[in-house]
Amino acid sequence: MLESLNEWVLSLGAQYNVNPYVFGAIYIGAIPFFFASIAWLVKRARAGRSTVAPTMLAGFFFVSAYLYLAIFGQDIPLWVWIFLAALIAYGAWSTIRDTRRKIAAGSVEESGDS
């Protein structure tokens, strides 16, 4: 059964010219870099410094697997792009909301310590 699942996944990749294991490796591999970028963003925001670089890096790591799909994928169905756009939009909204909370919590903690 595991072998047939593997064959099915690989056949999808061949159909769309994307290696699903490369996609998965990029997706999983980007997670620690994404969280490190968010931590850097929060630290810089709390210090009142520019957050452009960590925001750009976090965004890149957030969409890196989908960039692979966009660059190398062929004949990807429209519904996949719509689904991915919805996932990215929700993820971005959620990340922005949580990051703002972390920044605000740091400001409260800092003002409470003085």
pLDDT at 106: 73
**How many CA atoms within 13 Å lie on the side-chain side of 46?**
18
pLDDT at 113: 46
pLDDT at 5: 80
Q: pLDDT below 50 — which residues of the chain? A: 108-114
Q: List, in order, residues 6 or more apart from 75 with CB less than 8 Å away.
A: 15, 16, 17
Burial class from Cβ neighbours inside 10 Å (0-12, 13-18, 19+) for residue 87 reads: exposed
pLDDT at 107: 57
